[in-house]
Amino acid sequence: MTEYTSLEKIRLQKLEELRAEGIEAYPTRARRTHMSTEAISEFESKEKNGVEIKTTLAGRLRASRSMGKVTFAHIEDGAGKIQLFVRANELGKERVDFFNKMLDLGDFIQAEGVMFRTKSGEVSLHVHDFSLLAKSISPLPAAKDETLEDGTVIRHAALEHPELRARQRYADLAVNPQVRETFRKRAAIVRSLQNFLDDQGFLEVETPILQPLYGGAAARPFTTHHNELEQDMYLRISFELYLKRLLVGNLEKVYEIGRDFRNEGVSFKHNPEFTQLEFYWAYADYFQVMELTEQMVSYVADKVLGTQKIKFKEHEIDLTPPWKRLEMRTGILETSGVDIAEHKTAEELFKAIKSEHPKQTPDPKATRGKLIDFLLSEFLEPTLIQPTFLYNYPRDISPLAKSIPGDPLTVERFEGYVAGFELCNAFTELNDPLDQEQRFIEMGRDYEADDEEKHPLDEDYLRAMRYGMPPNGGFGMGVDRLAMLLLNKHSIREVLLFPALRNEE
RNA sequence: GGGCGCGUAGCUCAAUGGUAGAGCAGCGGCCUUUUAAGCCGUUUGUUGAGGGUUCGAGCCCCUCCGCGCUCACCA
């Protein structure tokens, strides 16, 4: 049974009274002729001519100030807010009382009348009739807006609790317009990415989310089971192996934007399901992918924000191409003093790190690649504020990337860093089926038999590769992270409508 | 999963171990151009849950739940 608060009980009582008077609190149909902003701008453009503008508006009651026989109220619709002027002269004392007593903040109503300007100058609707469209039983988290003389709006008692905002996103959206704006912009970001790639001749495709095997990244999967097929299945951890199968099928430029699922920890930049963009581009290498990446991200910033100069936390970031290129070896050497090229085994590299930085505690059992990753995140990453392509990665943490000709320890891979965090990851893709098989086997050896990160060998993927895969450049980017970066949001939860949360109770 | 912190009215927040409060919202009034409207009056609580210490616990201790920050895994 629902437990009602005292405030809710009062509203339920009003519902009873409405019913007793034969008034439908949830009528089937509504009427609206104008959005709030349309009504205002139409009035302003015709105000001088004295043309009467009749409108019917619909929206949510957000504020109400009764002065006895006159009430000022604001309703909010999809476009903005507009003031209603409700007066006994037109409606009679009874209807004004009804407005004041039977309507509550949060109710959806419609009101028809004529546009006018109040003494204090606000364009408003002079209401001739109104009706309830949907009763609100639970009071929305109360918030009041104060508009200062300079136009700044201050929110008082706004819903701020991060848990409530995420758990009850509907209430958050209802009372915090800037949250609605965030998600409109997020949609615009995704649309711009699609437009950009479409214009470049890429084909948008959809590949299986439910997979018999998982692969393409180092992460633990979510496992599920198909009853009729009597087999376990996995939610995908990346799109890579399926998209590259399409290159075998002569689709030369493909991309997918969709959900990945990784059974890992949750943090300000990790959600168990997140939106990923991956594209694969036949006959391109990682340098070409770099150029396309900087063009794509700056294009999106331009379309969504109208500028390539963005703010993130205390940083001013310029996304205008070209972005800085920094070889990983050089970057690590400059920031940590360790030259990874001088230490070709894990043991040597470990000693070098310890002698250069006695206080640091890298994992003594780590592979050479993992040690390099340690140096990267500990020393180099925090310095990469302006957009930077960090390129040439150790082979053993990049099992799907192609080696640099003449350098068997290094692969043609880059990651794009902005504001100190990793935005994207790309490489010249490995297209040699025999080498790929070796890599899979090598990678399997790095893990204990029961290691959850140990990945199954995808025989079908190797079968596809054996038909022949064109040389190609591949790319992956967390779309949520791009949204965080462009919208200056410092937690992934701010750019996810319904982030993963533990069950209540 | 580890460490640190937080949880008080519908919302935002107070309250030395000593009667649980304020503003807004709500409810009852007054008010025909207000806009965080104003004025008078007034209600609202299992202080996240459970246990313990104490004459007495919102406050101290323990367990649990949820969230935040952070570390690890990862993108």
Distances (CA, A) of A113 to A21, A105, A133, A171, A184: 24, 21, 17, 30, 31
Assign A146 a pLDDT band (cuts: 50, 70, 90): confident
User: Nearest nucleotide (C1') to the CA of residue A148?
Assistant: B36
Residue A249 has pLDDT above 50, yes or no: yes
Chain B bases near protein Cβ (<7 Å): 1, 9-13, 23-28, 30-38, 43-44, 65-75
Distance CA A496 to C1' B70 in A: 22
Q: Please state the rounded mean pLDDT for residues A161-179.
A: 87
Distance CA A215 to C1' B30 in A: 72
* Superfamily covering domain A179-323+386-494: Bira Bifunctional Protein; Domain 2 (3.30.930.10)
Tokens 């007593």 correspond to A101
User: Domain A6-139, what fold?
Assistant: OB fold (Dihydrolipoamide Acetyltransferase, E2P) (2.40.50)
Residue A505's pLDDT is 55
Domain locations in chain A? 6-139, 179-323+386-494
- Structure token pair of residue A225: 């089971």
Q: Residue A148 phi/psi, 5° resolution?
A: -75, 170
Q: Residue A413 phi/psi, 5° resolution?
A: -135, 145
User: Mind listing the pLDDT tens digit for each residue in A31-61?
Assistant: 999 999 999 999 999 988 888 999 999 999 9
Assign A282 a pLDDT band (cuts: 50, 70, 90): very high
Residue A449's pLDDT is 47
Question: Among A41-45, A109-113, A227-231, A285-289, which is the least confidently predicted range?
Answer: A227-231
Cβ neighbourhood burial of A471 (10 Å; 0-12, 13-18, 19+): middle
Helix count and strand count (H, E) for chain A:
15, 21
The residues, ordered by sequence, that sit 6+ positions from A6 with a Cβ below 8 Å of its Cβ are: none
Pick the more confident residue, A310 or A357: A310
Residue A256's pLDDT is 97
Residue A439 has pLDDT above 70, yes or no: yes
Residue A448's pLDDT is 47
Residue A503 has pLDDT above 90, yes or no: no
Domain A6-139 and domain A179-323+386-494, same fold? Reply is: no
Residue A446 has pLDDT above 70, yes or no: no
- Widest pairwise Cα distance in chain A: 90
**Summary mean pLDDT of chain A:** 90
Closest residue by Cα to the C1' atom of nucleotide B44? A6
User: Mind listing the pLDDT tens digit for each residue in A337-378?
Assistant: 889 888 888 888 888 888 888 777 777 777 788 888 888 888
Residue A391 has pLDDT above 90, yes or no: yes
Tokens 């880059």 correspond to A414
